[in-house]
């Protein structure tokens, strides 16, 4: 708690200096060298001290601990985040990742299965968990969640689009094309998807909307 208070206390000093200092990876405050990561931790600890029931602050603090290899601290913060928001998908995926990184493979696998079963209640939940797994580079779980979402809503342009983008990010052009084309067929008014397909060498055209209220046009000529 003493360290938390000290770090939180530095937030005011760092904030005051920020306006007059150039951005850098580290700076000196009161004779102490402060890195950007430490400053961010101090800000998050300050936010948590102000409102402990802030799941996003706990999650972001966990990510910083995870980046530092502090697995236990990271897992703790993720669990606190889930305590306040049981469907915080990024925190769920991060727990699976941090357990795997720390060598707890059985717990990691069990946690993934639990979260995927919870998300199976809706296509939206499965899609969000899949995206969270994707960001953690847990590809097998990401694909499983996407397919779980697709099974519940096969005619969803959004789900097909996200799966297409996933495969595109993993350099699998054939599968990316398959899902993006399907998404575009379901919703041909997706200019962004049309652009992506065009860059892949697939010519598609966004339909032009026809004017239904012709009375406005008649008034122009009156």
Q: Please answer whether residues 28 and 34 qualify as being in contact, where contact means their C-beta atoms are separated by less than 8 angstroms.
A: yes
Other C-beta atoms within 10 Å of 40: how many? Answer: 15
State yes or no: pLDDT of 22 exceeds 80: no
Separation of alpha carbons 110 and 88, rounded Å: 17
Query: Which range has the worst mean pLDDT, 88-92, 108-112, 164-168, 216-220?
Result: 216-220
| Mean pLDDT rounded to a whole number for the chain | 86
Report in angstroms the alpha-carbon separations of 45 from 13, 35, 50.
Answer: 14, 15, 9
**Which is nearest to 35 in space by CA: 50, 44, 25?**
25
Q: Please answer whether residues 64 and 45 qualify as being in contact, where contact means their C-beta atoms are separated by less than 8 angstroms.
A: no
Helix axes 173-186, 157-169, angle to 10 degrees: 160
Token pair listed for 156: 């969803």
Q: Phi, psi (5° rounding) for residue 126? A: -65, -40
For 136-188, the pLDDT digits (tens) are 999 999 999 999 999 999 999 999 999 999 999 999 999 999 999 999 999 99
State yes or no: pLDDT of 113 exceeds 50: yes
Tell me whether residue 132 is exposed, middle or buried, using C-beta atoms within 10 angstroms of its C-beta: 0 to 12, 13 to 18, 19 or more: buried
- DSSP 8-state symbol, 64: H
**Threshold 0.95, pTM exceeds:** no
Choose between 18 and 33: higher pLDDT.
Answer: 33
Token pair listed for 51: 């409102």
Q: What does the domain layout of the chain look like in residue ranges?
A: 155-206
């Amino acid at each position: 708690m003493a360290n938390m208070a000290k770090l939180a206390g530095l937030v005011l000093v760092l904030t005051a200096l920020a306006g007059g200092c150039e951005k850098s990876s580290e700076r000196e405050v009161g004779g102490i060298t402060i890195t950007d990561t430490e400053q961010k931790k101090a800000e998050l600890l300050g936010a948590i001290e102000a409102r402990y029931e802030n799941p996003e602050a706990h999650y972001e603090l966990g990510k910083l601990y995870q980046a530092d290899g502090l697995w236990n601290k990271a897992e703790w913060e993720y669990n606190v985040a889930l305590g306040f928001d049981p469907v915080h998908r990024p925190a769920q995926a991060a727990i699976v990742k941090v357990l795997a990184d720390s060598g707890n493979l059985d717990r990691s696998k069990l946690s993934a299965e639990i979260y995927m079963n919870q998300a199976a209640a809706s296509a939206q939940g499965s899609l969000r968990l899949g995206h969270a797994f994707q960001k953690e580079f847990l590809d097998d779980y990401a694909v499983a969640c996407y397919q779980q979402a697709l099974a519940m809503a096969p005619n969803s342009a959004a789900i097909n689009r996200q799966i297409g983008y996933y495969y595109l990010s993993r350099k699998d052009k054939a599968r990316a094309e398959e899902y993006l084309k399907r998404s575009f067929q379901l919703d041909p008014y997706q200019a962004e998807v049309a652009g992506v397909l065009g860059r892949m060498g697939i010519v598609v055209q966004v339909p032009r909307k026809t004017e239904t209220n012709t009375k406005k046009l008649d008034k122009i000529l009156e």
